[in-house]
Amino acid sequence: MEDLRIETIKGGNDSQVFKLTGPFTLGTMFDFQHLVREHKAAATIIDLSGVPYMDSAALGSLLGFHVSCAREGRKYALVGVGERLKTLFKVAGVDSVLVTYASADAAKNAGVGA
């Protein structure tokens, strides 16, 4: 089983980027959950360009992160979402709920991170 790797990149002005690489599944989501609970920047970009697939448990952890950000007034963006993940988001009915951008630069231009 492949592991999920998470690279943390500190942005400017209380922002951060987490780059995920590998399968994002029930077996690999706990590190992600711990990381986003411990590091609460004003703006977070989650780069999913290296995630080949995601299961419903991992999707649930992204939705939990979405709710946490909304409740605490923090901004976030999911970037680099591939076609397989886009299909999952659409089938699950959360494609209009989750904040997504094509790239980190597009998210930054929209005011998420610096």
> What domains are there in the chain, each with its CATH number?
5-109 (3.30.750.24)
Judge whether residue 1 has pLDDT over 60. no
Contact 78, 16 (CB under 8 A): no
pLDDT for position 40:
87
Q: Note the pLDDT of residue 114.
A: 60
Q: What is the rounded average pLDDT for all residues in the chain?
A: 93
Residue 113 confidence (pLDDT): 76
Query: What average pLDDT does the segment 81-99 reach?
Result: 97
pLDDT at position 14 is 82
Q: How confident is the model at residue 13 (pLDDT cuts 50, 70, 90)?
A: confident
